[in-house]
Amino acid sequence: MASAARRGRPKIKPPRRHGPDVSIEKTWADLANNIREIQNHNAPNLSFEENHRFAYNMVLHKQGEMLYKGVNQLVAENIDHLANTQVVPVFPSGASDETMQSQEAEMLLKALRIIWDDHISNMVRLGQILKYMDRVYAKSADVPEIWDVGLNLFLKHIIRPPIKDHLVTAILNQIHFERDGYVVNRSAIKGCVDVFLTLEDANGLTVYKRDLEPALLRESQTFYESEGLKLLRTCDAPEFLRLVESRFESEDSRTHHYLSRNTAAALRQILQDNLLTPHISTVISMETSGLDAMIDLNKTNDMARLYRLFVMVPAGLPCLKRALKDSVRRRGEGINQVSLGLEGGDGEATTSKSRPAASGAQTLALALKWVQDVLDLKDLFDKIWKDAFSCDRELESNLNEAFESFINLNDRSSEFISLFIDDNLKRGLRGKTDTEVDAVLDKTITVFRYITEKDVFERYYKGHLAKRLLLGRSVSDDAERGMLAKLKVECGYQFTQKLEGMFHDMKISEDTMKAYKTHLSQTVAPGIDLSVIVMTSTFWPIAHPTSPCTLPLEMIKTSKSFEQFYLSRHSGRRLTWQPSLGSADVRVSFKSKRHDLNVATFALVILLLFEDSGPDDFMTYEEIKQATSIVDNELQRHLQSLACAKFKILKKHPPGRDVDPTDSFSFNADFSSSLQRIKISTVSSKVESGEERKETKDRIDEERRHQTEACIVRIMKDRKHMTHNDLVNEVTRQLATRFLPNPLNIKKRIEGLIEREYLERCDDRKSYNYMA
Amino acid sequence: MSDVEMAAAAETDWVRVTSDDGYTFLVRRKVANASETMRDMLDTAGNYAEAIARTCPVQQRGVIVEKLLEYMSFKAHYAEAGPRDEIPVQELMERIPPEIVLELLLAADYQNM
């Protein structure tokens, strides 16, 4: 030592010997005695220093082994003593009463915890005074420290048959008791489980894992197997789900509060496998309380619970998807069924022509109802999806599929949706704010999205839009354009090109009319004010040739005047008049007073026949027909609106609702009304009759043929060479935004193109070349 | 007393350390805890007679006990020193009279510190 060296030769005294020189046997005897005292809770009367020194001396005098073994034995004896005095007396008596059993189990668990606590506090004290032995002897002799010895001895002497078996049974009994809905002393169970969790056997496996958990899982399995069947037998679906969920919760809280966290997953699995998975399909399709009933009764909470439970198990979501799809489809088919009722009525109307007007209004109402029902259904399921199914993406696409399938099952869905929009834009939107209008249209668009045959929709929409524009029926130009913009977003520029063309024509016509008015002011104006809309024939869905009509001279003059004006501005164009689409204002003198009437052009032509007639002059149907050369169905329509509707300008003989070719008519000079201006709306069949539908269908088919051919040529021009299958696939893909082409039709179109030498078949008979 | 208060008291209250030749030293419990033997002795969980009396008899001469306590204070004081703080070990060693080193060594072993 450096300091020692510096101080010269310091005198180092030898240390004194510790303690009095008494024999080792005496030391051990005293120490053993004291240890027993410690085990009898008398530590406060003992000197730590004295006992520590006893142990220290024994280790110092090479008697560590004797000390170690002696302590071992003392501890073992004490544990046995504890077991015999505290645990064995509370062994279950084998009583059959459940409450008794539970109480006994609780007592046993408590007793174990008591002796464990006792043992542990003893071991803490012993560990303190024997620390020198742990440090010096245990290490060199390679034996476990006294604390571990304590645990091992407890394991060996307590956790053994029969005590162990009684303990495990007691815990299981308590859990079972709690599962049955009784209150148990959780802390007693936890006390015992904690001991099990602390003690490890030689392999490092806790007693809990080794002895308790397997038994617990076995027990749970049997319990929940029968529980599942029992619930299924006694509960309706919401109750079943509620109870199952509470089972999940209670098991979770059980593992959380007095079992090991590690068991949670296994228990959960048991619950899923036994309580949930085998029963989901039964529960979801329960007649009066399953998913359908929940949807009907709007039980959001129950459905949310159902969703929570079903997503837990792998079989759950597919099952829920199936049930949802069925439900949507069933409801959708119900809605379709209602609209089918109209089909029958409509057929009758077309065959007998008995009451076309009533039937028309009825069918329109049904069409509107169909769309409204579909929208309501969509709303309902959207709400459920949002509130109960936490916006699950998979379910969303599943719902969409279901909607798509039933909407397309109704082959008139396109017409109905277009009618619905038509109806809304015509009158429904009055008094609604812009945002409300937008909401209605947006909703309609979501339904529109489901239609696969978008070209059919386009055709109907075009027709309806044309009528709205020409008759000035549209409520709001903004709403019209808004709708058009939405369609453009959905289907692209091409889809709305012609529709936009129609709007464009309307605007151009307005300008033309201004110019015409200026022109008239400089020249001699004809007797009638004329307003003309010039329509580009490719944009507008107007039938050619036009329905004929013999105009009175006055009107012919007026129209000629415009014709001249127009053709002088645009040479090389051809104007065709469409009187069937026009309307006219006419002032009529009745007996009481004069009224301004707004009537269709055809109606005006008919009215003018009566211009000079007296009150008793009759004209027969045939006479009117000859004078006007209007075709039968148009003539009937207009006569009906003049003679049979709300305002009876003409008298029909004999009176009645429907017009027959044998009827005759006279001017109703007695007509009176409080209104000055009267609008005679034409009785119109807005929903197509069977014949019209067939015509539309033919036209659509033809259009599809053209589109398919155009598409084939477009693709082949690009690729030059393609196999048959590739070509068909590509065509299908490109046309899918408009309609679903049938492969057979594509094949026919390809053959047509080969005939016309756009394509040639290659030698391998499976592919085609493009011929420039 | 709550556990926190107990812990706080255990750090700051005073305990008595006696030598076998009649000297008595008063030190903070924190200092006494520097010796594991003393800590166990005073442990209220073990609750031996010494823990109740808060007195640790050390069967050594006063001079040895004094040196033990000096080292224990030193240890307790620097126990929380960071790795960059300088710990004057050398000075402490120079303050140990060579005459008592063997006795001190045995005592330190007994005190497990």
- For chain A, the domains span 24-162, 232-307, 318-507, 508-579, 582-679, 692-770
Measured between CB atoms, does B21 come within 8 Å of chain A?
no
Q: Write down the pLDDT at residue A431.
A: 65
Q: How far apart are CA A717 and CA A768, in angstroms?
A: 11
Q: Taking CA atoms, what residue in A is nearest to B38?
A: A49
B88 Cα to chain A: minimum distance (Å): 15
Three-state DSSP class for residue A493: helix
Q: Write down the pLDDT at residue B19.
A: 92
Q: Which residues of A touch B64 (CB under 8 A)?
A: none
Q: Which residues of A touch B46 (CB under 8 A)?
A: 43, 48, 124-125, 128
Determine what percent of chain A is predicted with pLDDT higher than 90: 1
Determine what percent of chain A is predicted with pLDDT higher than 70: 90
Q: Which residues of B touch A40 (CB under 8 A)?
A: none
Residue A515: closest CA among A474, A570, A585: A570
Measured between CB atoms, does B36 come within 8 Å of chain A?
yes
Q: Tokens in use for B18?
A: 């006696």
| Residues 6 or more apart whose Cβ sits within 8 Å of residue B73 | B27, B31, B34
Q: Which value, to the nearest 10 degrees, does the dihedral of the CA atoms of residues A317, A321, A323, A325 take?
A: 180
- Max mean pLDDT range (A216-220, A472-476, A532-536): A216-220
Q: How far apart are CA A330 and CA A335, in angstroms?
A: 9
Measured between CB atoms, does A44 come within 8 Å of chain B?
yes
Q: Tokens in use for A573?
A: 């164009």
DSSP secondary structure letter of residue A649: S
- The answer to whether the Cβ–Cβ distance between A11 and B102 falls below 8 Å is no
- The answer to whether the Cβ–Cβ distance between B48 and A125 falls below 8 Å is yes
Condensed to tens digits (0 to 9), the pLDDT of residues A394-411 reads 888 888 888 888 888 887
Q: Which residues of B touch A129 (CB under 8 A)?
A: 40
Q: Write down the pLDDT at residue A356.
A: 38
Q: For residue A99, what is the enclosing H or E element?
A: helix A98-129
Q: Is the sign of the CA dihedral A423, A428, A433, A435 positive or negative?
A: negative
Q: Write down the pLDDT at residue B26.
A: 93
pLDDT bin (cut points 50, 70, 90) of residue A546 is: low
- Give the A window 639-678 contacts with B, CB below 8 Å: none
Q: Taking CA atoms, what residue in B is nearest to A129?
A: B40
Q: How far apart are CA A147 and CA A164, in angstroms?
A: 22
DSSP secondary structure letter of residue A770: E
Whole-Å CA distances, A529 to A134, A307, A472, A558, A583: 121, 68, 17, 8, 12
- Quick one: average pLDDT of A696-722? 85
Q: Taking CA atoms, what residue in A is nearest to B61?
A: A16
Domains A24-162 and A318-507 share a fold: yes
Q: How far is CA A291 from the centre of its chain?
A: 14
Secondary structure in 3-state letters for B32-67 = HCCCHHHHHHHCCCCCCHHHHHCEEEECCCHHHHHH
Measured between CB atoms, does A11 come within 8 Å of chain B?
yes
Token pair 């084998």: residue: A94
Q: Please state, as a whole number, how many other Cβ atoms lie within 10 Å of the Cβ of residue A405.
A: 16
Architecture of domain A692-770: Orthogonal Bundle (1.10)
Q: Is the sign of the CA dihedral B38, B43, B47, B53 positive or negative?
A: positive
Q: How far apart are CA A85 and CA A150, in angstroms?
A: 19
Q: Write down the pLDDT at residue A601.
A: 81
Q: Write down the pLDDT at residue A739.
A: 81
- Give the B window 91-110 contacts with A, CB below 8 Å: 93-94, 96-103, 105-106, 110
Of A46, A53, A129, the CB nearest to B49: A46
Q: Between A543 and A309, where is the model more confident?
A: A309
Three-state DSSP class for residue A328: helix
Tell if the pTM clears 0.95, that is, is over it: no
- The answer to whether the Cβ–Cβ distance between B50 and A12 falls below 8 Å is no
Q: How far is CA A93 from the centre of its chain?
A: 58
- The answer to whether the Cβ–Cβ distance between A12 and B98 falls below 8 Å is yes
CA-based Rg of chain B, rounded to a whole angstrom?
15
Residue A687: closest CA among A463, A484, A453, A375: A463
Residue A664, Cβ density class (10 Å: 0-12 exposed, 13-18 middle, ≥19 buried) = middle
Whole-Å CA distances, A564 to A323, A332, A372, A549, A574: 68, 56, 49, 21, 11
Token pair 């002059």: residue: A617
Condensed to tens digits (0 to 9), the pLDDT of residues A313-363 reads 888 888 888 888 888 888 888 888 877 664 444 433 333 333 333 455 677
Residue A426: closest CA among A396, A363, A471, A459: A471
Three-state DSSP class for residue A540: coil
Please say whether the beta carbons of A293 and A367 come within 8 A: no
Condensed to tens digits (0 to 9), the pLDDT of residues A601-625 reads 888 888 888 877 766 777 888 888 8
Token pair 């689409």: residue: A581
- The answer to whether the Cβ–Cβ distance between A124 and B47 falls below 8 Å is no
Q: Write down the pLDDT at residue B71.
A: 92
Three-state DSSP class for residue A231: helix
Q: Write down the pLDDT at residue A682.
A: 67
Of A1, A44, A53, the CB nearest to B48: A44
CATH code: domain of residue B14: 3.30.710.10
pLDDT bin (cut points 50, 70, 90) of residue A427 is: low
Q: Between A215 and A693, where is the model more confident?
A: A215
Q: How far apart are CA A640 and CA A599, in angstroms?
A: 13
Q: Write down the pLDDT at residue A21.
A: 63
Q: Write down the pLDDT at residue A611.
A: 76
Beta bridge partners, A652, equal A665
Condensed to tens digits (0 to 9), the pLDDT of residues B7-51 reads 555 567 899 999 989 999 999 888 888 898 998 888 887 788 888
Residue A175: closest CA among A270, A106, A227: A106
List, in sequence order, every beta strand (DSSP E) within A49-151: none
Q: How far apart are CA A481 and CA A547, in angstroms?
A: 30
- The answer to whether the Cβ–Cβ distance between B102 and A14 falls below 8 Å is yes
- The answer to whether the Cβ–Cβ distance between A3 and B56 falls below 8 Å is no
Domain count, chain B: 1
Q: Which residues of A touch B94 (CB under 8 A)?
A: 3
Chosen from A9, A48, A51 to mutate, greatest number of chain B CBs within 10 A? A48
B98 Cα to chain A: minimum distance (Å): 6
pLDDT at A674 over 50: yes
Q: Write down the pLDDT at residue A341.
A: 62
- CA-angle at A707, arms to A705 and A713, nearest 5°: 105
Classify residue A506 as left (phi > 0), alpha (psi -120 to 50) or beta: alpha
Q: What is the CATH number of domain A582-679?
A: 3.30.230.130
- Quick one: average pLDDT of A81-101? 81
pLDDT bin (cut points 50, 70, 90) of residue B68 is: very high
Which class is domain A24-162? mainly alpha
Q: How far apart are CA B113 and CA B34, in angstroms?
A: 7
* Residue ranges making up the domain that contains B23: 3-111
Condensed to tens digits (0 to 9), the pLDDT of residues A28-55 reads 888 898 899 888 888 888 888 888 888 8
Measured between CB atoms, does B56 come within 8 Å of chain A?
yes
Beta bridge partners, A723, equal A767
Q: For residue A352, what is the enclosing H or E element?
A: helix A316-352
**Lowest mean pLDDT segment, chosen from A291-295, A344-348, A531-535, A561-565:** A344-348
Three-state DSSP class for residue A629: coil
Residue A649: closest CA among A617, A616, A606, A620: A606
Q: Write down the pLDDT at residue A353.
A: 34
**Lowest mean pLDDT segment, chosen from A340-344, A364-368, A502-506, A581-585:** A340-344
Q: Which CATH topology does A318-507 take?
A: 5 helical Cullin repeat like (1.20.1310)
How does the average pLDDT of chain A come out, rounded?
A: 81
Please say whether the beta carbons of A251 and A268 come within 8 A: yes
Measured between CB atoms, does A46 come within 8 Å of chain B?
yes
DSSP secondary structure letter of residue B100: G
Q: Write down the pLDDT at residue B67.
A: 92
- Max mean pLDDT range (A580-594, A728-742, B47-61): B47-61
- The answer to whether the Cβ–Cβ distance between B102 and A131 falls below 8 Å is no
Sheet with B14-19: strands ordered across: B24-28, B14-19, B55-58
DSSP secondary structure letter of residue A206: B
Beta bridge partners, A620, equal A664
Measured between CB atoms, does A139 come within 8 Å of chain B?
no
Q: Are strands A594-600 and A677-679 parallel, antiparallel or unpaired?
A: parallel
